[in-house]
């Protein structure tokens, strides 16, 4: 509740702020007024503020059990699986396609890897590599089929069925247990921190750098925002769509493999639940379903918020279904906040843009 009041505080001087940058604007571009900057900060970083508030809230409410290093590690570990899937969903959505085949790809990759290790006795590294590459290949298929003009949602639903069937066929309908050799990326801890946390950190760093710093990543985001604009710039936008599907499915495969490592068995049943958890984290992070916008660090915090809520409520002995409800409320609340901020920003900018025109500056 402190968010709106904080923003209101910055809104008040907006009339000054709108006219203030106009006079010195002739040589240099007009700086954004303080209120606009505040609102943009709230939009871009609001989820970090929200997470901070939740941590403070639970630290007080669940004192002394919540605010401890061990509990932080627990939360990070709990968030890691959904974070990996959320990364896949987010990259897909940012490039303008919702990839629903993620649970199937995860199941197929883990079963193929499990089969290669347990039944064929192949080396672990080779099995993991094949699992990941298989995921990437399915993403490639999703991509080139969608480019034929078919709706990506239907295509990936079809692929969900195909991959989960293939997983069940390979595993013979049962789980493949006893995959203790994967402990090194499952329950094993390094310097006290579980392996999945490192994997998530590495994945998010690589993907964030890719999307914000590299040519291909920026073009991928641009294709999601306005494919026509990118096409008219002489870029083959189709390539970037396929690339997004490949990244998305590779993340799904990685998620499947880490899940397998944690539970030490490969499960051929694709659980659609993981895509909804991932979607919740992605939506909480303000990734627009229209594509073209979103940031992966925020997605990571989205996944952490989900884990934080369920962790805190569990400590207090609140039934877990309350956590689901609270998440839903937060999600809807974030939608309203974002709508309010966009409208406020455009109103402020409208006044400042007109002010600068009328004073003769550009």
Partner 1 sequence: MSGKDDVVDVTDNGIPALQLQGIDMHYGYVRALDAIDFHVAQGEVVGLLGDNGAGKSTLLKVMSGAHRPTGGTIRVHGEEKHFHAPSDATHAGIQMVYQDLALVDALDIATNLNIGREILRKGIFGVLGFVDHKAQRKRSEGELDKLGVRTAAMTRPVEMLSGGQRQVVALARSATRVTGDRNGVLLLDEPTAALGYEQTQQVQALIQRMRDQGIAIVLVTHNFPLATAVCDRIAVLNRGRKVADIATKDTDYDQIVGWVTGARPSMFADA
Q: State the residues that interact with partner 1 by CB under 8 A.
A: 28-32, 213-216, 218-219, 221-222, 225-226, 228-230, 232-235, 288, 292-293, 345-346, 349-350, 353-354, 357-358, 362
Q: Give DSSP secondary structure letters for 12-48.
A: TTHHHHHHTTSGGGTTSPPPPPHHHHHHHHHHHHHHH
Residue whose CB is less far from partner 1, 60 or 350: 350
Residue whose CB is less far from partner 1, 6 or 216: 216
How would you classify the pairing of strands 193-194 and 189-190? antiparallel
Residue whose CB is less far from partner 1, 11 or 112: 11
- Residue tagged 């809807």 (tokens): 332
Token digits for 203?
A: 């994945």
Residue whose CB is less far from partner 1, 15 or 226: 226
Residue whose CB is less far from partner 1, 68 or 233: 233
CA distance 106 to 100: 11
Least Å distance, CB 228 to partner 1, is: 5
Whether the Cβ atoms of residue 208 and residue 296 lie closer than 8 Å to each other: yes
Least Å distance, CB 286 to partner 1, is: 11
Residue whose CB is less far from partner 1, 1 or 28: 28
Least Å distance, CB 46 to partner 1, is: 16
CA distance 193 to 196: 9
Residue whose CB is less far from partner 1, 277 or 352: 352
Query: Please, what is the Cα angle at 72 between 66 and 77, to 5 degrees?
Result: 130
Sign of CA dihedral 50, 56, 62, 64: positive
Least Å distance, CB 47 to partner 1, is: 17
Which residue in 130, 133, 154, 128 sits closest to 142, CA to CA? 154
Residue whose CB is less far from partner 1, 45 or 73: 45
Token digits for 346?
A: 């455009």
Please count the other Cβ atoms lying within 10 Å of the Cβ belonging to residue 154: 12
Q: Give DSSP secondary structure letters for 152-166.
A: HHHHHHHHHHHHHHH
- Residue tagged 């303008």 (tokens): 96
Least Å distance, CB 283 to partner 1, is: 16
Residue whose CB is less far from partner 1, 189 or 293: 293
**189 DSSP β-pair partners:** 194
How remote is the C-alpha of 351 from its chain's centroid? 34
Least Å distance, CB 315 to partner 1, is: 38
Least Å distance, CB 94 to partner 1, is: 9
Least Å distance, CB 155 to partner 1, is: 25
Token digits for 148?
A: 């034929």
Least Å distance, CB 187 to partner 1, is: 34
Q: Across the chain, which distance is largest between two alpha carbons, in Å?
A: 77
Least Å distance, CB 341 to partner 1, is: 12
CA distance 303 to 253: 18
CA distance 262 to 222: 36
Residue whose CB is less far from partner 1, 4 or 29: 29
């Amino acid at each position: 509740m402190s968010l709106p009041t904080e923003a209101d505080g910055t809104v008040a001087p907006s009339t000054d702020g709108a006219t203030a940058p106009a006079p010195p604007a002739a040589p240099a571009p007009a700086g954004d007024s303080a209120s606009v900057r505040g609102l943009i900060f709230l939009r871009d970083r609001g989820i970090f503020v929200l997470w901070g508030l939740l941590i403070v809230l639970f630290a007080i409410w669940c004192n002394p059990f919540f605010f401890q290093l061990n509990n932080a590690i627990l939360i990070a570990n709990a968030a890691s699986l959904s974070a990996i899937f959320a990364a896949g969903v987010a990259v897909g959505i940012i490039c303008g396609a919702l990839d629903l085949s993620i649970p199937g790809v995860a199941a197929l990759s883990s079963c193929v890897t499990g089969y290669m290790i347990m039944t064929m006795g192949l080396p672990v590294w080779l099995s993991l590599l094949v699992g990941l590459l298989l995921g990437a290949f399915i993403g490639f298929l999703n991509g080139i089929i969608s480019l034929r003009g078919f709706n990506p949602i239907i295509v990936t639903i079809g692929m969900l069925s195909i991959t989960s069937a293939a997983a069940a066929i390979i595993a013979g309908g049962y789980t493949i247990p006893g995959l203790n050799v994967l402990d090194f990326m499952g329950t094993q801890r390094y310097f006290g921190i579980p392996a999945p946390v490192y994997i998530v950190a590495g994945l998010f760093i690589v993907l964030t750098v890719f999307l914000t710093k590299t040519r291909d990543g920026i073009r991928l985001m641009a294709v999601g925002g306005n494919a026509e604009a990118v096409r008219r710039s002489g870029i083959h936008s189709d390539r970037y769509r396929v690339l997004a599907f490949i990244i998305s499915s590779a993340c799904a495969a990685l998620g499947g493999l880490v899940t397998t490592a944690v539970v030490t068995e490969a499960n051929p049943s694709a659980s659609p639940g993981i895509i909804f958890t991932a979607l919740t984290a992605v939506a909480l992070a303000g990734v627009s379903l229209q594509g073209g916008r979103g940031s992966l660090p925020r997605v990571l915090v989205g996944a952490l918020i989900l884990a934080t809520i369920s962790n805190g409520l569990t400590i207090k002995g609140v039934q877990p279904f309350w956590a689901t409800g609270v998440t839903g409320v937060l999600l809807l609340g974030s939608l309203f906040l974002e709508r309010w901020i966009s409208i406020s920003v455009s109103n402020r900018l409208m006044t400042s843009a007109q002010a600068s025109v009328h004073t003769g500056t550009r």
